[in-house]
Chain A
């Protein structure tokens, strides 16, 4: 989750087989540098009702090309439900049904002593490898995942489920098994890539359960600081290139852990933990000439980064410095006639991921008719029951 993976159609279009890499990139760079679009005379509007229908359709049935993402089934549900939340349409879903479906993914330890066995007792990502509790050797088939656990709690929170009903102790105690000596987290107990995405998930889980025994905050902070690059942004792991999604994970996690002063924009020169002036400069520079945000320097604008990078600016208190009019025009140029949003203006078909982050980005902008977002948690409202 959390990273946009689809291939750039711009590159596909420009980079025909006969074209050399060099020509391709020079032309690609030229595309990034187009002047801002002229004021749209018709004044594009957000087609709210069409987007609600689009998400309702997704809730009803996902087309078969979602097969390859089935392992992140809870994440797909999160996009649809949180999207409806932003659009103010959560009254159209059956909350009890959603709650029992989400809860059915939780991995339960048989006894509390299981919590020391090195496994993580969170939520499974999908049904693929989840077996009912009376199946033999159930304990060796625990595939619960940090990102799925984050999505499960976020959904439960949004639909008003009382989080104190769930066995949060099992989640939190076993989550410590996933934190690495360098402070990073792996998402699943049998090993996978370790990076900032899962530090963020762990922080969001602790925050939503209002209990920080699930992680060593100081170590996590150390790790995050090692991911800040020479240019001010954050890479997914130490040494990697600054990236909008990784930067969001870093800044939002620091915010949830309480390491960012809520009002640093008034005292920009000093911050306890990060080089904020450089980070702000890098983030603002991501707004490209077409008004949209790019995830990395010299890459084309893409709708999802309006949330990732916009979110960073919001948390840091610098959101009002971006060019809202130009960003709104860019986003609305990616609004699909079928409902939903595309990644790039020239795409025809919307996708769930970019639709969700476009709604989220427009909510940060306080677009009329959209619910406000708790930016560092990625959900519409904090449910008092759980906190």
Chain B
């Protein structure tokens, strides 16, 4: 079986005896093609033969090999992939072999939608017994690029459709240990704690997750991901977000360090807008920051926060100014 890897030794179809009975179907670009592509001869010839077998609906071993070659050159072509599936079904090919084929080409094409769709088609046919292998496969891709969106989508689909939830939280922990800034891993963590059938859901997990997240925030308060995750842990329950001391405490701790406190101020502002009553200590700490950053010491706490943010977050200073002018009337 030839593939695009051995380009140098590629024998044109026209010279291959096993294809001598097939008349290639050339591409009809019409009289005035727009944005025409300068195709290589190999590419053009392969697609000409593909068109011939596709049009003849020839579901044979050589047609399968031809799709392998065509995919090597043109992996985004969904028609080739579709025809390959028809051939695989007609020949009743062992899909474990097909999975090996995808393993081979996936690393080079890890951001190709069609390959992931094909992978899913194979896994779906193999059923729950394929779960471990699929999780391993995505782990391999994520080891090369821990934020590969396709790999994460596939992994979430595997968990939901085929199972394999047992070690998923551990996997998230490991990835976050490697890189605590990996927002994809935080997202996966949220997916696991809200959807795993083994963990009891968000409410059951909230306390332990808040502790984990607070620790991550204190280690890197400039990291947006755990701040958003923390809010996510109270999704749909604003009252609890406002009343849970752990939330305002982590803001206070970060503010006291006098360093990297933008996300702390932003969360605190939202808490105040939701009706949070700040402690004297919190007020004092914010006002201290306000004195060094701005001149608004007599304003309410929310206003002071907006003024500080206007200064320390220059990318969004217009936004914070607008927030300052649109605070709820009852805000502290």
Contacts and interface: CB of A to CB of B under 8 A. Distances in A.
A298 B76 contact: no
B228 A231 contact: yes
B29 A71 contact: no
Interface in A56-71: 58-59, 61-64, 66-71
A86 B246 CA distance: 50
Interface in A130-176: 131-132, 135-137, 140-141, 143, 145
Interface string A90-108: 0000100110111010000
Given A61-B38, A229-B187, A298-B181, A236 B78 contact: no
B288 interface: no
Contact of B231 (A143, A188, A230): A230
B73 A101 contact: no
Contacts of B36: 61-62
Given A21-B179, A63-B38, A241 B73 contact: no
Contacts of A145: 78
Interface of A: 3, 5, 7, 11, 21-22, 25-26, 29, 33, 36, 58-59, 61-64, 66-73, 76-77, 80-81, 94, 97-98, 100-102, 104, 127-129, 131-132, 135-137, 140-141, 143, 145, 188, 190-193, 229-232, 235-237, 239-243, 268, 281-282, 284-285, 287-289, 291, 296-299, 318, 320-323, 326
A102 B51 CA distance: 21
Contact of B74 (A67, A242, A285): A67
Contact of B149 (A25, A81, A241, A323): A241
B34 A97 contact: yes
A80 B153 CA distance: 31
A266 B235 CA distance: 24
Contact of A101 (B28, B33, B146): B33
Nearest to B109: A68
A128 B34 contact: no
Nearest to B51: A129
A298 B182 contact: yes
8 contacts: A25-B182, A64-B39, A128-B74, A193-B117, A235-B187, A241-B152, A298-B183, A299-B183
B32 interface: yes
Contacts of A98: 34
Contacts of A5: 111-112
Interface of B: 27-30, 32-40, 43, 47, 50-51, 54-55, 57, 73-79, 82, 111-114, 116-117, 121, 143, 145-147, 149, 152-153, 156, 178-179, 181-184, 187, 190-191, 195, 222-225, 228-229, 231-232, 235, 266, 314-319, 322, 326
B179 A29 contact: yes
B191 A323 contact: no
B154 to A, nearest CB: 10
Contact of B32 (A97, A237, A318, A320): A97
Contacts of B317: 323
B316 A321 contact: yes
A25 B74 contact: no
Contacts of A326: 314-315
Nearest to A55: B35
A33 B34 CA distance: 42
A236 B116 CA distance: 14
Q: DSSP class of A's interface residues: helix, strand, loop or mixed?
A: loop
A239 B40 CA distance: 41
A242 B231 CA distance: 15
A193 B156 contact: no
Nearest to A26: B179
Given A141-B55, A268-B326, A318-B319, 20 more contacts: A5-B111, A21-B179, A58-B35, A62-B37, A64-B39, A66-B38, A67-B43, A97-B32, A140-B57, A190-B82, A229-B187, A230-B190, A236-B153, A237-B156, A239-B195, A240-B149, A241-B184, A243-B149, A296-B184, A298-B225
A209 B322 CA distance: 38
A228 to B, nearest CB: 10
Nearest to B44: A67
A297 B224 contact: yes
B183 A297 contact: yes
| For the complex of A and B, 6 pairs with smallest distance between CB atoms | A230-B232, A25-B179, A129-B79, A241-B187, A231-B228, A321-B319
B78 A143 contact: yes
Nearest to B38: A64
Nearest to A76: B35
A142 to B, nearest CB: 10
A64 B318 CA distance: 46
B235 A284 contact: no
A319 B307 CA distance: 21
Most chain B beta-carbon neighbours within 10 Å: one of A127, A129, A237: A129
A289 B262 CA distance: 13
Contacts of A3: 149
Nearest to B328: A269
Contacts of A282: 228
A63 B190 CA distance: 43
A50 B160 CA distance: 50
A268 B40 CA distance: 54
